[in-house]
Structure 1
Amino acid sequence: MLKGFFHYGVIKTARKTFWKPYSGLRSFLARKDGSPPKAGPTAYGVDMIQNWHDRTFVYCHAGIYGKFLANELSNFREPFAFVDIGANQGLYSLIAAKNPFCSEVVAFEPVSGTHSILEANITLSAQKSKIRTCKLGIAASPGAAQIRVPEGHSGMASLSPEQNLHAEKCRVETIETVSSDELGGLLPEEPTLFVKVDVEGLEEVVIRQLLDSEAGSRIKAIFYEVDNRWSKEDEIAAMLDRANFKEFTKVGFGHHFDVMAVRP
């Protein structure tokens, strides 16, 4: 508990305190210069387009998301494919693709502007041929849905009705969604799948669709986000337990944290 508080309550907060004004200055200078955003290195060893106005990029650049998932993806030592749901600008897709044991990456990102940045970041990677993008969301039923995207924080985009109601400035975009029936043809054929789910409150729905899909039995590990203000932590854990996920590792501290669930 004390270690988690120190790493996620103290260090992470201190980093945010430093990087918020710095990124604001970089964003101001970039707008004043008027030139297109440039590519540059991040704390995670991958290059990304420098969108200083977007908090999600700043967290990628500065390493604020921590090292747990990045290390898991880098150190996975059996043939696998990575499924990145809520890929945003592609940080974890880029990290996974660098692992020689990773045969393929499929990155789901439904928001138009963010998806464009994702594809631009992929072109920067020497492993770009491994990565395939899907401009789709995952929901309980296929079709069209409206997603809310807060200004200046693309990583908070959500289909959840409870999420982003507090945000002062949001735009709404209509996206295409798929469910379990369509997922089978979109996911990699590799026997072992490593999945990341970061969908801001819709984790239970997305994980259920994954487990119900043709590829459900091939999922070895699921890394997912929990925010107890709108996520159903116990229901997600029970659903995964019924699907024979037996090892659960909590990553983080407080009401907002991540969980790594692994099948034996």
Structure 2
Amino acid sequence: MASLSDFWRYGVVKTARKLKAAALSPVMAARGDAAVRSAYGVLMVPNWQDTTFRYCIFGTYGRDLADLLLGQRNDFVFVDIGSNQGLYALIAAQNPKCRQIIAFEPVPATHARLAANVALNGGAERTVLHQLAISDSVGEVEISVAADHTGTATLAGREAGKPSGGGVVIQTIDAPLVDPLLAGELPMFVKIDVEGLEAVVIAELAKTGAFARVEAIFYEVDDRWASAGEIEVLLRASGFTRFTKYGRGHHYDVLASRS
């Protein structure tokens, strides 16, 4: 029964949402440059040429992470690593128990849209934005960016610092520089969507003193270039005991929690 339910939610329904986004986006784009309210209830500046934006508007990503963020009942900090245009940062800000949002988005143009969306939704006073990527080194690197799908921007597949495709220069930081950016006392809920570098990011977070405050991590896995088992071993060594899978096939999400 669970597999049938997953097939319906992550197969049929998600495909239908993608088709809806493709069909209706040209119609909505023709309406002009006014802010658009997404299926998740947050406003976003229009960016119709971008698949990621269209998926945000039409709810293609489903409700899994959105409901987890809105369902938090105790004060927390949301750390959004790979924030893109800020969908989940904006959703987290809808929950009054979310006392702070810390968002990392290194691509300059995408970061500018993130900042505009935060301002549009009135969450700037609780949101700290960093135009940085978390990695295992400090410096400038090129990141592959697809003009029509910003959500696929990736450092994965680099050889000798070179990206697998055309890209832009971004700034990376490692654990010693990340730690002070996460300073505080409240528990943290972390989302990681970095297109194949999830294990690297988690390993760096685990080296920080702030990591003890992380109660849950929602991260993306694609079995074509990431090892779910490797990530789980790393997190279990850091005290995470529960792993819940969301999705099906080779591309899915996992929620890791300490209890």
What interval of TM-score do these two structures reach, taking the shorter chain for normalisation?
over 0.9
Unaligned runs of 5+ in 2: none
* 1:247 pairs with 2:242: yes
- Deviations, residues 155-200 of structure 1 (Å, cap 9, x unaligned): 11011117x95xxxx5411100001111111114133010000000
Work out which of the residue numbers 29, 51, 60 in structure 2 matches 1:64: 60
Task: Give the Å deviation of 1:127.
Answer: 2.5
2:147 paired residue number: 151
SS of residue matched to 1:221: strand
Q: Distance in 2 between matches of 1:74 and 1:232?
A: 29
Q: Distance in 2 between matches of 1:66 and 1:177?
A: 30
2:157 paired residue number: 161
Please tell me whether the aligned partners of residues 141 and 177 of structure 1 are also in contact (alpha carbons under 8 angstroms): yes
Task: Give the Å deviation of 1:139.
Answer: 0.6
Please tell me whether the aligned partners of residues 80 and 190 of structure 1 are also in contact (alpha carbons under 8 angstroms): no
Unaligned runs of 5+ in 1: none
SS of residue matched to 1:231: coil
Task: Give the Å deviation of 1:23.
Answer: 1.9
* 1:135 pairs with 2:131: yes
Please tell me whether the aligned partners of residues 20 and 58 of structure 2 are also in contact (alpha carbons under 8 angstroms): no
Give me the CA root mean square deviation. 1.5
- Deviations, residues 94-114 of structure 1 (Å, cap 9, x unaligned): 111121111110100000100
Percentage identity across paired residues of the two chains: 45
2:17 paired residue number: 15
What amino acid sits opposite 1:147 in the alignment?
I
1:236 paired residue number: 231
Task: Give the Å deviation of 1:2.
Answer: 1.3
2:254 paired residue number: 259
Give the length in aligned residue pairs: 253
1:217 paired residue number: 212
- Deviations, residues 63-113 of structure 1 (Å, cap 9, x unaligned): 110101101101101111010000000011011112111111010000010
2:73 paired residue number: 77
SS of residue matched to 1:210: helix
SS of residue matched to 2:209: coil
SS of residue matched to 2:121: coil
